Structure 1
Amino acid sequence: SPGEKGAPLGLTPGELAFLEALLEGRRPGGNADMLADAVNEKLIDLIGDTAIEFDEAGEPALVEDYVEDVRAALGA
């Protein structure tokens, strides 16, 4: 929203940290289920699909096809 600095895609600081951890291949902190849902909701307009999925072990991961789109959107 206008006037908010450092919040690309309307992400909260926690959601942004979660997404950055996934981009860097680190294990994100926080409530992964809740954060993944929230981030996916905000990325759906950008990507048109689910960007974060859970693997067999229940760990969140960015869908490989969308990593570059997400990086670009974050200006990373």
Structure 2
Amino acid sequence: AIHLADAIFSKFDGAISVKNDTIIVTCYNVPEQLKLQQHYQNLPEKLISEGINPKVPWLYDFKLDFRFR
């Protein structure tokens, strides 16, 4: 079976950067029909608004956020 990440993320380009305590994954040319932007952009703020700690323990407590271009 194809892994979800292979099925989705192999279809477009991206870049990774770090700003303060957040790892930012910038995705380029993502098809809008996947609706990834509405679910993943500003992820730390979305998690906080639901009472969830946005820090990822196995990423040294960095937050993970996504940008779409």
Query: Into which bin does the TM-score normalised by the smaller protein fall?
Result: under 0.3
Give the structure with the larger helix fraction: 1
Q: TM-score, normalised by structure 1?
A: 0.27
Give the structure with the larger strand fraction: 2
Structure possessing the higher relative contact order (Cα contacts under 8 Å, 6 or more residues apart): 2
Q: TM-score, normalised by structure 2?
A: 0.28
